[in-house]
Amino acid sequence: MPRLNDVTDTFLWGGATDRDADPIRRALRHNRMALFGAALLTSAVAAAALAQWIAPYDPGATLQVTVEDVYAPPSAAHWLGTDDAGRDVLTNLIYGARVSLTVGFFASFISVFIGGAIGTVAGFFGGRAERVLMRFTDVVLVIPDLPLAIVLVALTRPGLINVIVVIGIVGWTGTARLVRSQTLSVKQRKFVLRARAVGASNLRILVRHIFPLVLPLIAVNTVLVMSLAILNESTLSFLGLSDPSRTSWGQMLNSAFTRGAMSAGAWWALVPPGAGIVWVVLGCSLLGYGLERVLNPRVASHHLSSAHPTSPKSAKTKRGHPHQTSPGTEFSEAPVVLDVRGASVDFTASGCPPLHAVEDVSFRLHCGEMLGVVGESGCGKTTLMLSLLRLLPTGGRIVSGEVRLSGRNLVAMGEKEMADLRWKEMAVVFQSAMSALNPIRTVGDQIAEAILRHEPRAKKIDGRVRELLDMVGIGPGRQHQYPHQYSGGMRQRAMIAMALACRPTVLFADEPTTALDVMVQAQILDVLDRLRRDLGLAVLLVTHDLGVVAEICDSVLVMYGGVVAEYADVDALFNRPRHPYTRELLRAFPDLSRPKAELVAIPGSPPSPNALPPGCRFAPRCPDASSRCHAEQPTLHILDGRHQVRCHLVESNSGVGSAHEPFRRT
Amino acid sequence: MTHCRFLLGKAGGALFTVGFVLVLNFFLFRILPGDPARAGVRDPRLTQESQVAIQARFGLDKPVINGIERVNPLRLGSFTVNPLDTQFFIYLRNLLQGDLGISYHRNRPVTELLKERLGNTVLLVGSGQILALLIGIALGAVAAWKSRTAIDYGALVGSLVAWSMPTFWLGMVLLFWGSRWLGLPIGGMITPGATFANPWDARMDVVLHMVLPVLTQTIVYVAEYVLIMRTTMLDVLSEDYILTAKAKGLSTFQILKDHALKNAALPIVTIVALNLGFTVAGAIQVEIVYSWPGLGQAIYESVVRRDYPMLQGAFLLLAVSVVFTNLLADLLYSYLDPRVRTA
């Protein structure tokens, strides 16, 4: 079945709050880390380069050593005191930076070169080369590096070059693994496949297409490898395995340790060299860590982020939109279970203007009714659904309007009360059951958990779980299996069974059939349809698929750019669509009754919530837009029954839309 | 079935690695300049008789392996010699019999010396690891849970700083002030020459000697584990099943306990095992600073005294233990993760 948009719902799931609302702050924060690290490193490099001029003494010249000069405490002449041979600690500290940085730089270069070569060859050529190389890497990875380095240096003659080479050749495994996986993933990108298809040579593909994408990662990795190399160098020097003719920090610590600084109480011979090592290594790790986060951003807020906003003090319409009363209830005589009035959702992050993700949404859901929420990706469908459950990520919440569930206002409810209500009254079937089920707990266990949460004294849990699974057509033998042992469709049905565990009144289903094959989709929808009829469940179905809506929904909410474009009973919407967006959606959807009709995709894409057009949100893509549409936001017009449309054209020309051929329900 | 194959594959990999380590260990000590294996025979610390005995015991007058007469300087030899009559075979045979040679410095079998020290290292590293794992996992989990708060930044920056400190230096600093201010012992495992009224006091004496070295290791590993756990936990907490758990109405504590920690702990098992090399490096440094009579100190002593058989033996023991601990971790992982167990 075709979808309106194959792109996943980046609006919410792509982490809109992190990516769009806060890019500068985030980049700055991570860069701040990187900047600080770079500052530490630069100052160390400067000290090493300018050692001749800034060091107070000449490192080679031994002073007139008298007894007082040995381990002399810090004084005006020797800011950091003297060591066992009466040498100035500060001078040695500055000159010591040279060895650390030289070894760090060249050794990490060797490591990254070996690791990079092995990783690239393994990732790019695959096959036997990859197997052999990666097996070799795994083998070397488990050999402890410091003992190996000690053995290697001890067996050769200690010297700067030897130390560099040895540290270089024990530290490449991490790079090899990293580069291999990155090369592998780049290799499968479309542009590489395309280059290969037109006959580009391996070398050309590597140099032109793969290296540019692998290099930034290697650069960051180099900085981290360097920090390890510097630590290893200091340890080897401390063990006396370094070039005795050059002062290094590890060597200073070696003489402090072996020549009585500890018993002499000469902390000044002990602390500064270590501080020097920390200075440089911390510089590397901060730089690497900061850069890595910029290069490879991770969603910084998660589902349990503690900075969760509390409910607003007053949940009244604040934004100046005329409050729309919900239209008449012609759908059924059944009682209203969920009544949403003028709900608006904002994402807020400190230092940024709030992001209006959903504005002024109103609808009513009756017992046994199925409401389809449709619209392209990024129109706020999932945001709306999660906001009703108050499950939005940090910073996202309903800022105005009311959400009444069987009479109680959810917006003003306390967190604890809300948690008691979740699943008991409102359950969710998420988009991908594979990721929505915990992979390391059995399906039955996860269903039982939901029951026990809301009915702590429930008995015969096992039997109830079996019954629930049976209801969605899953055999009793499957109860104690793990999600990965289920097929895709079964997982989704198990998710539905779990959602029904506490007999909720409202079920939210977020694209429950995405990524399932057609037969399984039909199965799932069938289960949903049957259950709501049998159990009187009210269902809010978020979907891309108009065919599904036509088939099983009673009413439809069309969302565009965070607002309701049109809200109507399913017949009215398909046969008398009033909003141009709805009509465009229908035209983009194949109709079996009109096989000759042309499928027309809507050009452009929905607006991002941080760049909303000043007028009607659909105006830039609307075929019928007038100058008024571009300038002024339309209000919601109530037509007959509960048919609502947010469009200027409805008032100016009520005949709009009549040109559309009736859509026949299948 | 697949699970069985997985286990066999892991065991095969471990055996392969041990084989590689054996070969590496053999050639390393012959490739490098001076051919310590041969030079050792003329070590002045050994009597004439023991030199002859060693020569015979390790077959040092025999070819290294088929096709190679000497390694350094390289001299190719005949391929047709009896493979059982080569140095490599004799090395393997001796190894199987638990014979790692005789320490030049102490004039005692290396195997015996290593045996005495292994227990001490396990005691020290084990205590440090367990403490660090408990603290590091808890702290990392809290940092991830409270992400983007002062707690998180504090844990992150603190860990990066602690991670940047060389273990031996941290050990020296703690030793310097720990012995001065707290009167803790300055090194060793027991107070020399002390006699104890009962075994309990003797044990307490060891514990007192352990405080600083264990603290040193704990600080360094905690930093490592906080960084790992925080990242893993951030990934887990962003998973959809956490949202499901929240939608079910579970409390934050329940979600952390029943859904997040267990899932985050799985990758930790593997990562901790892979970090064992790092642990070994830390143990060597701590043992040297605190004169703890373990394997690390043995390595240091043999480097200083050019005691090659001891160095070779200690390296082999460390490498093989890391390989086997890794294998154990793999087995544990496959037992803990149902996706592997029931695949």
The residues with which A426 forms a beta bridge, in sequence order, are A422, A506
pLDDT at B87 over 60: yes
The reply to whether residue B166 touches residue A235, judged by beta carbons under 8 angstroms, is yes
Residue A662 has what pLDDT? 43
- Range in A43-47, A259-263, A316-320, A472-476 the model is least confident about: A316-320
Q: State the DSSP H helix or E strand holding residue A112, giving kind and residue range, or none if neither.
A: helix A89-125
Report the range out of A3-12, A413-422, B302-311 with the highest average pLDDT. Answer: A413-422
Describe the strand order of the beta sheet including A563-569 as a list of residue ranges. A426-429, A506-510, A538-542, A370-374, A555-560, A563-569, A644-646, A636-638
- Average pLDDT (A150-162) is 82
Distance CA A508, CA A499 (A): 9
pLDDT at A579 over 50: yes
Distance CA B112, CA B118 (A): 10
Cα of B229 vs its chain's centroid, Å: 21
- A472 pLDDT band, cuts 50/70/90, is confident
Minimal C-alpha gap between A97 and chain B (Å): 15
Burial of A479 (0-12, 13-18, 19+ CB in 10 A): buried
Q: Which residues of A touch B147 (CB under 8 A)?
A: 300-302, 305
A639/B contact by beta carbon, under 8 A: no
Distance CA A636, CA A165 (A): 73
pLDDT at A654 over 70: no
State residue B112 phi and psi, 5-degree precision: -60, -45
A589/B contact by beta carbon, under 8 A: no
pLDDT at A8 over 70: no
From A227, which residue of chain B is nearest by alpha-carbon distance?
B164
Residue A330 has what pLDDT? 46
User: Which residue type occupies A32?
Assistant: R
B6/A contact by beta carbon, under 8 A: no
Two tokens at A439? Answer: 């992979």
- Average pLDDT (A358-384) is 89
Question: Which carries the bigger pLDDT value, residue B193 or residue A120?
Answer: A120
Report the range out of A101-105, A508-512, B332-336 with the highest average pLDDT. Answer: A101-105
Is the backbone of residue A253 left (phi > 0), alpha (psi -120 to 50) or beta? alpha
B276/A contact by beta carbon, under 8 A: yes
The reply to whether residue A286 touches residue B160, judged by beta carbons under 8 angstroms, is yes
B100/A contact by beta carbon, under 8 A: no
A269/B contact by beta carbon, under 8 A: no
Residues 124-143 of A with CB under 8 A from B: 135, 138-139, 141-143
Burial of B96 (0-12, 13-18, 19+ CB in 10 A): exposed
- Average pLDDT (A595-619) is 80
- B38 pLDDT band, cuts 50/70/90, is low
Minimal C-alpha gap between A2 and chain B (Å): 25
Residue B39 has what pLDDT? 62
Q: Which residues of A touch B252 (CB under 8 A)?
A: 304
Average pLDDT, chain B: 85
- Average pLDDT (A392-402) is 84
The reply to whether residue B166 touches residue A257, judged by beta carbons under 8 angstroms, is no
The residues with which A644 forms a beta bridge, in sequence order, are A567, A638
Q: Where are the alpha helices (DSSP H) in B252-294?
A: 252-255, 261-274, 276-289
Average pLDDT, chain A: 82
- Average pLDDT (A360-385) is 90
Minimal C-alpha gap between B270 and chain A (Å): 12
Residue A523 has what pLDDT? 83
The reply to whether residue A303 touches residue B246, judged by beta carbons under 8 angstroms, is yes
Q: Where are the alpha helices (DSSP H) in B182-198?
A: none
Q: Where are the alpha helices (DSSP H) in A145-266?
A: 145-155, 160-170, 173-187, 190-197, 202-204, 211-238, 249-258, 261-264
Residue A322 has what pLDDT? 40
Q: Which of A235, A285, A435 sits opposite B163 (nearest CB)?
A: A285
Residues 239-258 of A with CB under 8 A from B: 239-241, 250, 253, 256-257
B263/A contact by beta carbon, under 8 A: yes
User: Which residue type occupies B83?
Assistant: P
- Range in A252-266, A367-381, A649-663, B57-71 the model is least confident about: A649-663
Minimal C-alpha gap between A449 and chain B (Å): 9
- A663 pLDDT band, cuts 50/70/90, is very low
pLDDT at B214 over 80: yes
From B170, which residue of chain A is nearest by alpha-carbon distance?
A274
User: Which residue type occupies A335?
Assistant: P
ipTM: 0.89
- A298 pLDDT band, cuts 50/70/90, is low
Burial of A282 (0-12, 13-18, 19+ CB in 10 A): buried
Residue A283 has what pLDDT? 94
CA B62-B67-B73 angle, to 5 degrees, is: 70
Minimal C-alpha gap between A319 and chain B (Å): 29
Q: State the DSSP H helix or E strand holding residue B161, giving kind and residue range, or none if neither.
A: helix B150-164
Q: Which of A274, A301, A305 sits opposite B169 (nearest CB)?
A: A274
Q: Which candidate in A155, A292, A500 is best for mutational testing of the B interface (most B CBs within 10 A)?
A: A155
Residue A11 has what pLDDT? 36
Total residue length of chain A: 666
Two tokens at A408? Answer: 């109680």
Which residues, at least 6 apart from A103, have a Cβ–Cβ distance to it below 8 Å? Answer: A160, A163, A164, A167, A229, A230, A233
Residue B219 has what pLDDT? 94
Residue A278 has what pLDDT? 95
- Range in A63-67, A97-101, A461-465 the model is least confident about: A63-67
The gap between the terminal CA atoms of chain A, to the nearest Å, is: 14
User: Over A258-293, what HEC string results?
Assistant: HCCHHHHCCHHHHHHHHHHHHHHHHHHHHHHHHHHH
- Average pLDDT (B253-258) is 92
Residue A64 has what pLDDT? 63
SS3 A363: strand
